Amino acid sequence: MNKLYYLLVLFFSLSLSAATVTPEMLFAKNKLQETTISYTKAMETCFEHTPRVRPKQLEIDGFETELVVNAVNYLHYVALNHCMKDEYIRFLSAVEFYNSLVSSDEKLTVGSFVTDSLKEEVQGELEFKQLPEEVQQHFLQLDVLKVPFDVATLVMELRGDL
């Protein structure tokens, strides 16, 4: 959440000189503020009632720990990105609109907060598809992994770190 707080501070602190205040620029700044707040609220909502998934809920007897970790990491990003999809689009659209109005040295590159999560899902999918078919099918049918869940605690438990 620190990254999201940083985004809020960044957008609220965007200042426009009197020479560059146009209706479009004012709209772009307001849209960035609006979408950043909405993005932050959506992220909080996605994780507000995040269930704690226990290893026993996964019915993983016989699966190697790292195969399980790969599967749950991937499914975590699938669920998170699904939950945040609309906000990602609104946020990135606002950033792109703002960037279309400013000089290259004023462009925002904060979209990486979104694209990193999307990239993690694609990377995870690559690793997931390399798992044995029975492992893939097992995890795809688990309803508890279809909504955002506390992946960090689950992975630590799986690895015996908790």
Q: What torsion, rounded to 10 degrees, do the Cα atoms 120, 92, 100, 14 define? A: -110
Which residues touch 121 (CB under 8 Å, ≥6 apart)? 74, 77, 78, 81
Residue 68: φ, ψ to 5° = -65, -45
Whether this model's pTM surpasses 0.85: no
Q: Report angle CA 57, 62, 66 to the nearest 5 degrees.
A: 80
Residue pLDDT, tens place only, 73-97: 999 999 999 999 999 999 999 999 9
The confidence band for 162, taking pLDDT boundaries of 50, 70 and 90, is confident
Q: Average pLDDT in the 31-42 region?
A: 93
Residue 39: which of 31, 51, 29 has the closest Cα? 31
- Percent of the chain exceeding pLDDT 90 equals 69
Quick one: tokens of 158? 């799986």
- Rounded to whole angstroms, the Cα distance separating 46 from 50 reads 7
Give the chain's mean pLDDT. Answer: 87
Quick one: tokens of 124? 């995870």
Residue pLDDT, tens place only, 111-140: 677 889 999 999 999 999 999 999 999 999
Whether the predicted pLDDT of 47 surpasses 90: no
Whether the predicted pLDDT of 12 surpasses 50: no
The confidence band for 108, taking pLDDT boundaries of 50, 70 and 90, is confident
